[in-house]
Structure 1
C-alpha cells in the first residue's frame, strides 16, 4: 500500500484513548492487537508488528496489523526465524538492552539491506525502513513492536509520535502482563494447589517464587532461580521440553510423577513457542502415602513412581544414582507388595494409587 504523508503530532486525547485501551486489554494478545492497530493509525505504515523472539532457539512469534493471514506466516516465518539476527535492531537490543525508538541506520547501527533476511523477507514484502521499540521480556527473549515502511522512511514527526508512545507501550504491557500472570497464578494455586516454575529450553529455572522454592525443598527438589532442573526426579519434565516442536501448538503435558526423598510430586509442563516454559508442581494427592501404606520404603516408593512414569530399569538407576542390580531388588519388592508379576500390571497398579485409586 502507499502510505500517506507524514502526519501531524496527534493531540493528547487520541494518545490517551489508545493508552486507555491498551491498559484495559484482557490479555497480551489483545494488548498486541490494540497497540499495533493504534500505532498504525498514528504512524501510517505498511504494517506494524508485535514480536516475541528467541534468537538462540531460532523461534519467533508475531502478531501483525494488517493480518497477512496463515499462508503468509507459512511462507515467511521460516526465513525470518533462520536469519533474524541479520536485523541490526535485534542485534543491538540483545547486546545493549537499549529501549529507545530506533530505526535502521540510526546511531551507526547499519541496515538490513543486502542481507539474506532482506532478500528472503523484507524485500519481497516491500519493507525498506523500520522503527522499533523494545518491551520488557524474560532473559533470552526479545519483545518488540516494529513499524514498517517502504523507501520513504520515517520523518521527525513519525519518530516523535512513536517516542511519545514508548513509555505508555511499556507501562501498558507491564500492567496487562502482571494482571494476566496474577490471574493465572491465583487461579492455579488457589484452585488446584499448583506451584509455578518458569524454565528455559535447557530446563534451567528462570523464575520461581520463594514459596515455590520452599515447597519443592520439602520434597528434596531445588527449583531456585538459575538452577538446572535435576535430571533424576525431573527427567520426565526435561524430556517434554526436549521433545517439544515449537512449530506445533503448545499443549499441556500429562502429569509426571516426581519422586523426591520426602515424597512424590506431580509435574505438568506447558511449553511455549518462544519461551520461557511453565512447569506446574504439586503434591500427588495421597499417592505417596498409599504406596508407603503398602509397606514400601521411601526408596522403593521412588522406584515405583519412576516405573509408573515409563522409565526403564537402567533409566531408574541413572536417575536415582543407584546400581541397576539395586533397582532390580527394589522392583522385586515393589512387585511383591503390589501382588503382581509383570511390569504392565505394576505400572497400572502404581498409577492407580498415585491417582488416588483404591489400595486394596
Structure 2
C-alpha cells in the first residue's frame, strides 16, 4: 500500500512535465520534456511531432538523439508504409508497438524493418498519436530502442498512454505561455489562465487552444471544427480590429511575427460569470435544454449542470424566470 503523502514515479513525472512549462524555453520544450521522461521510461532516441491530424501536415518536429538524415529518409520513403504509425493515427490515444500488430518474426521480414529501422539502429518502437477532434490539432510521440533484446513491455505501453495527455496538454500551455510573455514584454501580469487563450499562425491555423477558447468558438460558430479559425474572427486575424465582441465574449488578438495570440474574456456586464458560464446561462435562459447545450458546446451534460449551479449561485437566482431576468440585465 502506498503512502499518499509521497508521490509515485508517475505523479512525479507528470508534475515535472507541467513545471517544464515555466522552466524550459518554448523552442526546446518538447526535446527537454522527452529527455526528462527517460528517467521513468528509458529509450535511446525519440521523435515528437505536432501537426494537423486530418491532413497529416506537420507543423513542428523535435527529436532526441535521432540523426536528421535518417528522419528525412523516413519522411520521404517510409512514412506511408509505417504500419505502427498508421495504427496509432487510426486509434488516437492508444499506444502501439510492432508486436501489437504482428509477430516479431514477421516484423523482421518487413521492408521497413530490413531497409530502414535496422540500418539506422531502431530495433523496438513504442508510439502514440493523440488529437483534439474539435481543433484537429494532433501530436505524435514515438520512442525507440536499439538493443534487440530490450523490447518495450506492456507496462511501458500503458505508461505512455497515461503520460501522453499530460505531455500534450503541457506543450499547449508552453506555446500559450511563451506567446503571452512575448505580447506582455516578458511579464505574466494580467494572465488569466491557459484555457482562455489560443495561438494561431498567419493563415489562421490553430497551433494551441485552451478549452474555454475552443468552447467560445463553438458558441459563436455552432458546429465549428478546426484547424482554421472560424470566419467570425477574420477581422481580428487580418488585423482590422484588436478587440471584437461576439455573443457573451470579448475576443482580443496580439500580433507576434508569424503568430497571433488570441484571448477570450467575458464581456462587461456578465456579473462575474466565466465565459463558459455566461454562454450556458444565456442558452438555458433562452429555452435550450441541458443536453442540447452540451451538444452545441461539445461538453458533457454534467459539465453544463455544474456550470448552471455556479451561475445560479453567482447571480443569486432560484428559478429559470429569475435567470432569464438576470440574463436580460446582462445583455441590456
Q: TM (normalized to structure 2)?
A: 0.48
